[in-house]
Amino acid sequence: MIRVRKIAHAAYEMPDVDKQVEYYTDILGLTLVERTKDAAYLASTVDHHSVVLSKGAEAKCLRLGFQIGPDDDLGEFERQVQGHGIKTERKRDPEPTISDVVTFADPKGTVMEVFKRGEFAGQRFPTKGVVPHKLGHVAFHCADVKTVTNFYCDVLGFRVSDWMGDFFSFLRCGPDHHTINLMETGANRHFHTAFEVRDWAHLQTACDYLSLNGYKLLWGPGRHGIGHNLFAYHRAPNGLITELFAELDRMNEELGYFEPRPWHRDRPQKPKVWAKDPSAANLWGILPSDEMMK
Ligand SMILES: [Fe+2]
């Protein structure tokens, strides 16, 4: 099958786009590369955009963009999706630097945009703000985690990295432990969007920078059990939660285990079902506040 290889962008709508643009540029340190009357495009380096913002009544994640490989055929991918009885649409030049895209909806209504990256924008990393390496993952609350998990695996080619019990799945489409995570809480909505920072020192600098600019942490810093990433969460304008993370597990796909790390309990650390235990959430012990679930 043709698998998606990488998350390319996430598109959101919200009541106050200007405030979100200001946050993404001045605080997070992405580059505003293009602004049309409908949308603001924010970049982190080689991709033209990693985040797209547009105006809407409430803050939510509308669309996710995924790249297939340079030698994969987009038409063949579209037929593969249709083979699952899913209705697709083919769009030409829907967004800057994306000339040909296949779109369809996932079971919870988020639009998938799958394409081949023909053009690289090659922006430099900015020098102001947190300046993450990349968009890492998008997490969702969902009503039916099994159906949505199966969809990402069967239709888009994701692999399951871990489960917490039978209600929280972590899915990868490349070496990173998770690019999509899905937590069954009864409703379909955005949970958090995560950006990768360099390391612990970068996370500390980022937390201080957030604090100096009036952004308080919701949870963290800590180290997740599942995925083993260092994490710190805060709430961005319009109510959307951002996670900054480092040291996320990386899968050696040929060998079927995550690259060994001193903080692992399993040797080797392989995909598994974790018990619903506090250490699955935070090996350092502090659990999330109720505010995280709002
Ligand atoms: Fe996360």
Q: Please give the average per-residue pLDDT across 67-71, as a whole number.
A: 97
How far does residue 231's CA lie from ligand 1's centre (Å)? 8
Mind listing the pLDDT tens digit for each residue in 120-144? 888 899 999 999 999 999 999 999 9
How far does residue 51's CA lie from ligand 1's centre (Å)? 17
Q: Please give the average per-residue pLDDT across 160-178, as a whole number.
A: 98
pLDDT value of residue 17: 97
How far does residue 193's CA lie from ligand 1's centre (Å)? 7
User: Does 1 score more than 90 pLDDT?
Assistant: yes
Measure the CA–CA gap between 15 and 239, rounded to whole angstroms: 10
Percent over 90 (pLDDT), the chain: 95
DSSP secondary structure letters along 211-242? HHTTPPEEEEEEE-STT--EEEEEEPGGG-EE
Burial of 94 (0-12, 13-18, 19+ CB in 10 A): middle
Measure the CA–CA gap between 11 and 65, rounded to whole angstroms: 8
Measure the CA–CA gap between 204 and 246, rounded to whole angstroms: 11
Measure the CA–CA gap between 208 and 130, rounded to whole angstroms: 10
Mind listing the pLDDT tens digit for each residue in 220-255? 999 999 999 999 999 999 999 999 999 999 999 999
DSSP secondary structure letters along 84-122? TT---EEEEEEETTEEEEEEEE-TTSPEEEEEE------
Rounded alpha-carbon distances, angstroms, from residue 272 to 4, 170, 262, 275: 22, 10, 18, 10
How far does residue 37's CA lie from ligand 1's centre (Å)? 31
How far does residue 204's CA lie from ligand 1's centre (Å)? 17
How far does residue 57's CA lie from ligand 1's centre (Å)? 25
Question: Are the C-beta atoms of residues 246 and 196 closer than 8 Å to each other?
Answer: yes
Instruction: Tell me which DSSP letter residue 126 carries.
Output: P
pLDDT value of residue 265: 97
How far does residue 41's CA lie from ligand 1's centre (Å)? 22
User: What average pLDDT does the structure give for the chain?
Assistant: 97
How far does residue 233's CA lie from ligand 1's centre (Å)? 9
